[in-house]
Structure 1
Amino acid sequence: MAATTNQYKLGLFVILGFLAAVTAAIALGALSSRKEKIVYYTYFNESVQGLDVGAPVKFRGVTIGHVSEIAVAPDHRQVEVAQEINVQDVERMGLTGEGFPTKRFLVPPDLRAQLGSQGITGVKYVSIDFFDPRVFPPPVLPFPPPANYIPAAPSLVKNLEDSVQKAIERLPELLDSITVVIGRANRILASFEDAGVSDHAASTFIRAEEVLAVLRSSILHIDQAHLGDRASETLTEAKAAVAKLNVLLEKFDGNEGILAAAQRTADSAAQLGNDARGTTRELESTLRDVGEAAQAIRSLAQALDRDPDILVKGRSQAKGKSP
């Protein structure tokens, strides 16, 4: 009799537990069904691989709803994603109007829906956030959107794909531009080679170096010569002239001299474009003038080398002619 009573109690306990579980499930379902929700639609012009029905809808990381339906859009090009958003959560964010069920989720002009990825598993969700409408304007749909519509913003993967595609499309144009620049550079270099600017410049530099060597030798000879007491005044003036001549030589020689400047000018001549030929003629004229000046200085140096007293004689004759 005691064993039968225990079995009866055990069976009653199991039945009561089952009824309690069913009641709790019904209560939770009823509570969930009483939550006010609004369905909103977004149209994505990209793959939604990894997004499933029931995926969360988040506003800056806070879950405010879930994906209720995924279908092909009326234009057969985009993907329609329906999202059930909890009205209470939306009200806490201050994004609803007055008087539900007539209240509507107010969509600010800078609110967008974007696909996001959870970790490295590839599972996606819908992220709702604010974006700059100048950078992410609302997409133009080929069909009228429903009243409860949230514009889509391209995902990070979509932006990356678009950037790579644009770079690939511009690659032939960039290659053509590089080819044109190389061709222009080759034509400019060929024009300078045909004009013989480098040969003229090298010849002038060699002649200038020879003149400088002769002048240095003559100046040293004059400085070491003993002209006597009568020529002391003339020597003073000659030394002053030699000093001025040294200044002139420094302008010709050295890293900052005229010759170095001419060398730099010749080196930078390859950078000239439209005025290349005119610059070549001007450079040749300048080099001829420098060559003539160098020839005159060489003649003066040779005269001083032959007759160091020429300065004294010229001074004496000038004194004799004065009243």
Structure 2
Amino acid sequence: MEPKAHHVIIGLFTLIAVAAALMFALWLAKSSADREWAYYEIVFDHAVSGLAKGNPVLYTGVEVGDVLGLQLDQTSPGQVRVLVRVEQSVPVRENTRAGLVLANITGSMSVQFSGGSKDSPILEGTRDDPARITAEPSAFNSLLTNGEALLTKAEMLLTNANKLFSQKNTENMTMILQNAREASDSLLGSRDQLIALLERMDDAGKRAAEAAVKVSTVSKNANALLQNEGKSVLTSMSAAMNTVQQTAARIDNLTRNNEGALDSGLQGMGELAPALRELRSTLRNLNQFTRRLEEDPTGTIWGGPSIKEVSQ
């Protein structure tokens, strides 16, 4: 009698649980049907791997709807049209952006809306005439799209790395490191000489700096001299040139005005030439007499040889 009672209780509990589950499902379906929805058609120009019917639609991370269907564009197979529904109370505007986000680590994707300013008009769409939104490619989607190219480049990189670390290159690298070690040991052995050389170079640099300062000072002084005294010299030279020009002009005018007198004077100078020669001869004789008088005054005055005329 007791086992039969237990079976009855278990069966009754099972029926109650199934009835409660059915009632909950009916209530959930009714609340979903009673909710008001806005419909949007999102156009993707890239692959939508991981997106499927029933996946959630998010608005800045908050679930506001779900995906109703996906289909290829008949006129442009490279595009995918995704029909979604969003609670009508959510303000999806004309400048609202749409894209894909990773839902979980299994690769499932969700549609996410973001952005939208208050001054932008609200998009309204029905099931028969959904509003259209062009999706923007996300960084994760670009990474997935370019994953094959990245893997190819990674494979090429590994191949080149294997070539780089071949046996021959490894031996060459070992020799290079050995030579570098020997060179460093040699430098360490010549450290004192290098220090002395660096000190000399430092002294030379200081002297060069001092010489540069002196050259700069001389240059400044020369520049000041040219600017100050040079200007006065140039001014004096300019004044002298003006004076020479004026004097030359006066001589030219005087010559032009007294051209006849100058010609007569030149003729007179030609007539004076014989008289000048006679005067020169007389001066020579007088000079010779004076010299003899100084040497022998008595002989010259009291019977010395007569003075001979110097031939011309």
What TM-score comes out, normalization by structure 1 length? Answer: 0.37
Higher relative contact order at CA 8 Å, sep ≥6: structure 1 or structure 2?
Answer: 1
Whose Rg is larger? 2
